[in-house]
Structure 1
Amino acid sequence: MSVELPATLRAAIARELEGVSRKGLAERTARTSAAYRAGKGSAGVIREADDALAYALARLPATYAACASVFEEAAARAPGFAPRRLLDAGAGPAAASWAALETWPQLAELSWLDASPQFLEIAARLAAEAAEPLRAADRRRGDLTAGGADWPRADLVACSYALAEIAPERQAAVVADLWAACEGLLALVEPGTPAGFARLRKAREGLIAAGAQILAPCPHEMVCPMVGEDWCHFAVRLPRSRDHRLAKGAEVPYEDEPYAYLLAARPGLGAAAPARVLAPPRAGKPGIDLKLCTPEGVEARFVGRRDKAGHAAARRLGWGDALD
């Protein structure tokens, strides 16, 4: 399945691109990507309005797709959850807010927290003709590491692709502040890399110690069984527009975004799945091989063709799916 930006957001990006040099944006995209890979944070990368626009063109679609996938899983794990207030922490161009509103259209109050005025400004411009909660979002300039005493409380707190910019020794305090601001569900989304997973594994430990219930992707709250060079991550496919391809110097009309995530909830809000598919299922003539995370640990499970009902169910499973 491919996750596409909402039509209103695609139109907003197109308006922002009117009269802008595509070559110039591609050069900015290359520079910002190189700076992020070198470990620089947004404060040292996004310095002008066109830097924020280049980032939105190149990265917003993938961030949106990852967040949309995570929120879809959140809705499945907590079907009675109906948030009214969202805190988008480290909002950037507010991709998580757009994705959250698609999943929970009853959201009425949105707060964007980001240290970059350029990001907050482009987020507001992109939302100028969007639904009322996006147009009226409360924009707050602030550093996530400065403490959350003044952050608004929210039913849903989202922090996507932001922990990577925080020094390792300060991440635990930020996660604690995010949890303190959360009255329902906390969603953390990071790049699907070993480093991104390591940040979430550490956050998971702190959240469990603070009394959070882990809804996904984990089917348990025991010590994470992923060891060695293995790490828990998933992928979502998204289409690339012509401008998106030009900005990234790409020819393929789609990309696969690897991401890692964690859903933590106040107790009683939902329930974790009994097991989770950790890798693309491998189908062969004898049957299907599944790599699962279960309460007993990481498990390799074979479903043979002779098990007609089980095989039919396994054929419908994909990487990241829950086994209910």
Structure 2
Amino acid sequence: MDTHLHAALARAVAGVPQHALRRRVAALSHRYRTEQVDDATPGLSDPLDALAYAVVRMPATFRALHAALSMAEHHIDAAFTTQLDLGGGTGAAAWAAAALWPAITTEIVERQPPAVALGKHLAEGNFARNWRWTPADLRHWSAPGPVDLVTIGYVLNELTADRRDDLILAAAQSATTIVLVEPGTPGGHRRTLAARDLLIAQGFTIAAPCPHQGPCPIDWCHFAARLPRTELHRILKDGTRNYEDEKFAYLVATRRPVRAAEARVLTRPTRRKGQVVLDLCTPDGTAERVVVPKSSPSYRRARDAAWGAAWGAGLRR
């Protein structure tokens, strides 16, 4: 799926001057890093803005959403056939869902005409038959009929606190499962926790990343998805590495039966000589540091454990 997305983006930027893209990328990157909240002013004002955003942010957004949706697939006993993507931009969440469930039917709600136009263009020849774009402003959005899956990716950071709550509550009226992704910053974590509290109050069960329904035991919960950088991506971001790590916070909440994780690996494991150190979020709602020595039957699995992976209680030592 990454290959198809990169190919679609390459076709979209063909013939566009790099210096023009670089100026737009700098402005958009500043807005993203500083988490500017301005839900009255369009973030993507014209086609060049939309293209700059898609080139530098869409692959990373796709990877983070794909990681979160993979957790929904793993932990929820349900088949997802319909998706409603709120504030879908150029379609990253729709691409991520289609990578997991190719037959899923998707409605993308997006208020910015340049993003809608580019999203449709990128989807041509891939998923356009199963996608419907709805130009609408989430500030005045009301829930439609029932839907299996609602995705809200990198949207809450663009809204004021009252708008965030309204959006989450509206989504809860129609969704069976909600997957929320925010930037992997302390602010993104706080917004995710606020949404988590609202959804639990609405009768949802948290399927991931939390292995419990209690308060979060740490100050900053986030994860990372690694993605390759294209040559154009490196040029536009003045990068030297051929990859980047997208840090994100996420939440999977559902009304369906859940296969809960017995524990969750909260940070990148530390591999020392003869041992592996794991920081875990546990089913009783506490954070626990576990040292797995080389003599343990669990050592090999601990050595291969990934940041964000589930960890079985029987393997905790």
Question: Does the CA-based 8 Å contact 1:194-1:231 persist in structure 2?
Answer: yes
Partner of 1:198: 190
Partner of 2:272: 284
Letter in 2 for 1:139: W
Question: Does the CA-based 8 Å contact 1:56-1:93 persist in structure 2?
Answer: yes
Question: Does the CA-based 8 Å contact 2:149-2:175 persist in structure 1?
Answer: yes
**Length-normalised TM-score, structure 1:** 0.91
The answer as to 2:299 corresponding to 1:311 is yes
Of the three residues 49, 52, 75, the one matched with 2:50 is 52
Of the three residues 128, 141, 148, the one matched with 1:155 is 148
Question: Does the CA-based 8 Å contact 2:87-2:152 persist in structure 1?
Answer: yes
Name the Cα RMSD after superposition. Answer: 1.6
Matches within 5 A, 1:29-178: 29-36=25-32, 37=34, 39-41=36-38, 43-78=41-76, 80-107=77-104, 109-131=105-127, 134-149=128-143, 151-178=144-171
Q: Deviations over 1:140-173 (max 9, x none)?
A: 1112221324x35321110100010110122112
The answer as to 2:249 corresponding to 1:260 is yes
Question: Does the CA-based 8 Å contact 1:275-1:323 persist in structure 2?
Answer: yes
State the distance in 1 between where 2:243 and 2:302 align: 26
Letter in 2 for 1:39: Q
Q: Which segments of structure 1 move beyond 6 Å, counting only runs of 4 or more?
A: none
State the distance in 2 between where 1:267 and 1:44 align: 36
- What's the offset of the Cα at 1:241? 0.5
State the distance in 1 between where 2:129 and 2:3 align: 16
State the distance in 1 between where 2:92 and 2:114 align: 15
State the distance in 2 between where 1:153 and 1:118 align: 28
Percent identity among equivalent residues?
37
Q: Secondary structure at the match of 1:99?
A: helix
Count of residue pairs the alignment pairs up: 309
State the distance in 1 between where 2:37 and 2:158 align: 8
State the distance in 1 between where 2:264 and 2:140 align: 36
State the distance in 2 between where 1:145 and 1:274 align: 38
Question: Does the CA-based 8 Å contact 1:127-1:135 persist in structure 2?
Answer: no
The answer as to 2:282 corresponding to 1:294 is yes
Question: Does the CA-based 8 Å contact 1:111-1:152 persist in structure 2?
Answer: no
State the distance in 2 between where 1:225 and 1:40 align: 27
Partner of 1:322: 310
Partner of 1:246: 235
Range with greater deviation from structure 2 (7-16 or 189-198): 7-16
Which ranges of structure 2 fall in alignment gaps of 5 or more residues? Answer: 313-317
- What's the offset of the Cα at 1:45? 2.9
The answer as to 2:214 corresponding to 1:222 is yes
State the distance in 1 between where 2:90 and 2:168 align: 21
The answer as to 2:263 corresponding to 1:275 is yes
State the distance in 2 between where 1:48 and 1:71 align: 30
Letter in 1 for 2:275: G
Letter in 1 for 2:107: S
- What's the offset of the Cα at 1:44? 3.3
Partner of 2:175: 182
State the distance in 1 between where 2:38 and 2:114 align: 14
Which ranges of structure 1 fall in alignment gaps of 5 or more residues? Answer: none
Change (3 A) 1:22 1:218: same
**Length-normalised TM-score, structure 2:** 0.93
- What's the offset of the Cα at 1:281? 1.1
- What's the offset of the Cα at 1:311? 1.0
Change (3 A) 1:136 1:104: closer
Letter in 2 for 1:162: V
Q: Deviations over 1:239-258 (max 9, x none)?
A: 01011112212121111100
Letter in 2 for 1:224: C
Range with greater deviation from structure 2 (270-279 or 41-50): 41-50
